């Protein structure tokens, strides 16, 4: 059915293509990606919001940023060209 998403395909009925489009159009996710009941921000973003006079927004929680891959021992050594 992936080929149908790109456009009409020879050998597949229009009815089947239409059913596939309807199925995709009627999909409702379990959780909304736009849910704004709790928004996590870092301290720098909080300072920015404060500077813009938006420090009292409901549902905003400040969290400490987590360093991604801060441990250098797990990295591969750099390749040195000779």
4: confidence class by pLDDT, cuts 50, 70, 90: low
Q: How far is CA 42 from CA 29, 46, 59, 69, in A?
A: 28, 6, 14, 18
Interval 12-40: pLDDT, tens: 788 888 888 898 888 888 888 787 788 88
Which whole-number Å values give the CA distances from 51 to 20, 38, 56, 75, in the listed order?
Answer: 49, 21, 12, 39
Cut 0.75: pTM above it? no
Residue 17 burial (CB count, 10 A): 17
Using CA atoms, how far residue 68 sits from 33, 42, 44, 75, 76, in Å, is 24, 14, 17, 12, 16
């Amino acid at each position: 059915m992936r080929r149908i998403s790109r456009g009409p395909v020879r050998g597949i009925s229009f009815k089947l293509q239409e059913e596939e489009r309807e199925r995709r159009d009627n999909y409702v996710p379990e959780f909304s990606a736009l849910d704004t009941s709790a928004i996590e921000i870092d301290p720098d973003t909080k300072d920015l919001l404060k500077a813009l006079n938006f420090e009292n927004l409901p549902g905003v929680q400040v969290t400490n940023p987590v360093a991604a891959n801060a441990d250098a021992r797990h990295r591969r050594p750099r390749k040195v060209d000779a």
